[in-house]
Amino acid sequence: MVFARLALAFSVAQGVLACGGHDHSHAQRAYPPTKLRPPTRPLDWGDFNVLHTTDTHGWLLGHQKESWPEPNYSGDLGDLASFLVHMKRIAEEKDVDLLVVDSGDIHDGTGITDGFPPGGVDGHDANEFIKQIPYDIMAIGNHELYHYGYTLDMYRNFAPDLNGRYLSSNVNITVFGENNETINVPVGERVAKFRTRKGRRVTSFGVLFDFTGNDDNTTVQTVEDMVKEDWFVDAIQEEPDVFLLVGHMPVNEDNWPLLDGRSMALQSGRYMETLGWMSANLNENDSDNITFSRRYLDPNRVTYQFHTLTSNDTFDSEEGTTITQGLLDLADQYDLDHLYGTAPMDYTVNRVPYPSNSSLLSLYISEAAPLVLGANNTANSTLPALFLTNSNAQRFDLYKGPFTENDRLSLSPYIQSWMYVPEVEYGLAKQVLDIINADDSDNRRRGMDDQERVLFGVGCDAQVDNRYRAWLRDVVARTYAERERELRWDADDELSIGYVTYDSCPGVGDDTEHEPIPSYPVPVAIQSKVTLNGTILDGVTDDTLIDFVVVAFNADQVAETLNSIVGEDRFSVRGAYSPVLSNELLGFYAQMAWN
């Protein structure tokens, strides 16, 4: 194999990384009400530069809550479009190359993708705005493959509009051919070859990790097998100036090639919370190592204006304002501002210990589930109840202020019914939680296939979340250890919480200084106290009979665990306890408790 002058890699981030009003006036384009810290220094431009997004997951309207760290990520897709207009202009003035790259997962995450009306397709409307961003290369992610209809929409209505720049090198879809025969074809293209503005030849591939949770009639080939294919061998025969590998897979795992002094890997952030920047100087001796620089940017208007030397009056482009208004109109169409109630404080998934008063997991299982399900009990049971669920059912934090339809969809994506095991002695029931957490329910999947795991909020997404939270904990420990050695900025400085990034490159990679985001371990399963009609029951003894109410994923496991304790098959899952589904619970709770 002939090695090109430069190899670049871009990957998915797994941890580096009643009705309310509709005020969608242009005034929303002002700065967030919370003062944002500007970047620390200008970007380092080279003669070849790349801006990278990944795992946008529907966060196209930005993060609009006032609690930290949300203001850091308050830029919307229209702001990004305006930023790119200015950055392209700067690149031309400097007479250098600038590429814009995305490495997948544009589905599933907020109401702007998931709030589509019945009969719609997740992400179809939102994708129309993504197509307006001048991406040079986009790659497929695993969230484009969970439902065949979504993949088919990408094949028919998204990839063609990117004119050969949407890559699915190892991902195929089965469709009908011209003669009504079934054919297996790439969702996008296997490879893209093009020249940059400065004439550099680029060969690009877009690969997905060895994912097995894809829907029927889609296929994911392992990267190991892909590189043996004739088309791949042919694609790399001609030496380009740059190999651009865009992978929806972590840089330090899976099957990335070994990187050397002429290679650079950049792993940016999820949920439109980080914009990755990389620059390289290629006009050097072909045999020397290449000088690279990288930066991790907070995507907000302060950041964008700082790096483009613009103001709030001169920043917005026609392209950007059109995209912003279109997204706001889509939010109106989906009724994403529908108000359930007003949250009195922040509730976070893992920034505080569980259990605690400001833990979202505590709120969900100890307050919301007993109140809502107790008031909507259709099991015709008068017994007190004990509630249990898997903790990964909550995807995002709940912040103080209006709790809307968009918030509900962003927080609770997984749809599970609530089942129950009737008439269980509390002395037996109270043993189950520790057994489940000791066994790790994520490893006891009751024969589910990968698609079923997706529906229940377990499997690969849960593993990603766990890695992300572990990474945050590592960052906290490392930051304070280095501060003690006085290797980081002043710990007494007033910094907002946000991402603090450590990588293998020299110097500080973060564009804006932050306090690291706290992160605490989260158990696999969480459980309430015994309640009656939503109120904690006093005087519970081991002989007290209760209904053990659990989400469907854990239901058989709870019954089996109870039977293993007593040594006989005494317990079984009766059926539905309530018509309320797991992803509806917080909306009902907000209506009942926060109005």
What residues pair up with 99 in beta bridges, in sequence order?
Answer: 50
Q: pLDDT at residue 263 above 50?
A: yes
Confidence of residue 253 (pLDDT cuts 50, 70, 90): low
Structure tokens, 224: 């190991």
Total residue length of the chain: 595
DSSP string, 488-531: SS-TTS---EE-----SSSS--BSS--EEPP-----SEEE---E
Alpha-carbon distance 453 to 457, whole Å?
A: 6
Question: Pick the residue with more confidence: 2 or 191?
Answer: 191
Question: What does the angle CA 262 – CA 267 – CA 272 come to, to the nearest 5 degrees?
Answer: 140
- According to DSSP, residue 264 is labeled E
Crossing angle (nearest 10°) for helices 77-94 and 318-333: 160
Alpha-carbon distance 376 to 387, whole Å?
A: 14
Q: Per residue in 389-439, pLDDT tens? A: 999 889 999 999 999 999 999 999 889 999 999 999 999 999 999 999 998
Q: pLDDT at residue 446 above 80?
A: no
**CA dihedral over 111, 114, 116, 121, signed as positive or negative:** positive
Whether the Cβ atoms of residue 532 and residue 374 lie closer than 8 Å to each other? yes
- Spell 440-465 as b/e; 16+ CB within 10 A means b: ebbebbeeeebebbbbbbbbebbebb
- Among candidate residues 519, 28, 511, the one with its CA nearest the CA of residue 273: 511
Residue 312 has a CB neighbour count (10 Å cut-off) of 12
pLDDT score recorded for residue 183:
95
Q: Per residue in 144-170, pLDDT tens? A: 999 999 999 999 999 999 999 999 999
Q: What percent of the chain has pLDDT over 70?
A: 88
- Read off the amino acid at residue 470: A
- Read off the amino acid at residue 561: T
List of residues 6+ apart from 126 with CB closer than 8 A:
58, 60, 106, 112, 113, 327, 330
Q: pLDDT at residue 2 above 50?
A: no
Structure tokens, 466: 């766990």
Residue 35 has a CB neighbour count (10 Å cut-off) of 10
Between the alpha carbon of residue 428 and those of residues 224, 544, 547, the distances in Å are 49, 10, 12
Could you confirm whether domain 339-452+522-593 is CATH 3.90.780.10? yes
Q: Per residue in 119-141, pLDDT tens? A: 999 999 999 999 999 999 999 99
pLDDT score recorded for residue 130:
98
Strand-strand pairing, 182-186 and 171-176: antiparallel
Q: pLDDT at residue 26 above 60?
A: no
pLDDT score recorded for residue 476:
87
Whether the Cβ atoms of residue 140 and residue 190 lie closer than 8 Å to each other? no
pLDDT score recorded for residue 4:
43
Q: What percent of the chain has pLDDT over 90?
A: 76
Q: Per residue in 465-517, pLDDT tens? A: 888 888 888 888 888 888 777 655 554 568 999 999 998 888 899 999 999 99
Instruction: Give the domain ranges of the chain.
Output: 6-16+42-333, 339-452+522-593, 461-516
Q: Per residue in 312-368, pLDDT tens? A: 999 999 999 999 999 999 999 999 999 999 999 999 999 999 999 999 999 999 999
What residues pair up with 220 in beta bridges, in sequence order?
Answer: 171
pLDDT score recorded for residue 14:
43
pLDDT score recorded for residue 465:
80
Alpha-carbon distance 294 to 510, whole Å?
A: 9
Lowest average pLDDT, out of 5-19, 204-218, 312-326, goes to 5-19
Lowest average pLDDT, out of 63-72, 216-225, 355-364, 443-452, goes to 443-452
In this prediction, residues 244-248 reach a mean pLDDT of 94
Lowest average pLDDT, out of 2-16, 34-48, 188-202, 573-587, goes to 2-16
pLDDT score recorded for residue 451:
47
Q: Per residue in 543-586, pLDDT tens? A: 999 999 999 999 999 999 999 999 999 999 999 999 999 999 99
Identical fold between 6-16+42-333 and 339-452+522-593: no
Lowest average pLDDT, out of 51-65, 280-294, 360-374, goes to 280-294
In the chain the first and final C-alpha atoms are separated, in Å, by 66
DSSP string, 341-383: EEESS-BBSSSS-SSSTTBHHHIIIIIIHHHHHHHT--S---S
- Among candidate residues 30, 68, 166, the one with its CA nearest the CA of residue 496: 68
Alpha-carbon distance 252 to 453, whole Å?
A: 25
State the architecture of 6-16+42-333 in CATH terms: 4-Layer Sandwich (3.60)
- DSSP reduced 3-state for 129: helix
Confidence of residue 17 (pLDDT cuts 50, 70, 90): very low
Structure tokens, 370: 């007993």
Lowest average pLDDT, out of 91-105, 290-304, 446-460, 563-577, goes to 446-460
